[in-house]
Structure 1
Amino acid sequence: MKLYCCEEHVELALDVAVDETGQFPVLEKVVDKGVKLSTTCEYCSNRPTYMVSN
C-alpha cells in the first residue's frame, strides 16, 4: 500500500493506513529534485509531500 499525501492530509493518510493494515505505516518525505511528479495527493489535487506505505 502506498498513499501519496500533502502536508494537510498526512494524518488522514496515516489513519487510513493503520486501519487497513493494522500496522504502523512508514512515513517518507517525497524528495522533489526538480522532477515534477504526476501523482497528486490522494485526498486533494495538491502536490504530495509524503508517501505513507507499509
Structure 2
Amino acid sequence: MIYSCEEHIEVAIDTIVDEYETFPKLTKVSDVDNLTTTCEYCQKPAIYIVANK
C-alpha cells in the first residue's frame, strides 16, 4: 500500500504494477486521515491510497 499525492500517483501505480503484476486499487484518503497522512514520495498531504488488493 502506497500513500500518494496527485503529482506522484503515476509513480505509485507503476510501483504496484511492477511489484505485484496486477492493476492497483485506488482509494481516496478520507478527510480525517488526510490531516496526518503524507505522500511517500514528497511528504505533501496524500490524496490516494494505491494498493494491490
Please, what TM-score do these two structures have when normalized by structure 1?
0.86
Match of 2:44 in 1: 46
Give structure 1 regions of 4+ aligned residues with deviation exceeding 6 angstroms.
none
| Aligned residues: CA RMSD | 1.6
**Deviation string for 1:11-44 (max 9, x for gaps)?**
110000000000111001111048622x310100
Gaps in structure 2 of 5+ consecutive residues: none
Tell me, in whole angstroms, the C-alpha distance in 2 between the residues paired with 1:29 and 1:46: 15
Match of 1:16 in 2: 15
Q: Secondary structure at the match of 1:14?
A: helix
> What code does the residue aligned with 2:6 have?
E
Q: Secondary structure at the match of 1:8?
A: coil
Please, what TM-score do these two structures have when normalized by structure 2?
0.87
Tell me, in whole angstroms, the C-alpha distance in 1 between the residues paired with 2:34 and 2:43: 17
> How many residues are paired up?
52
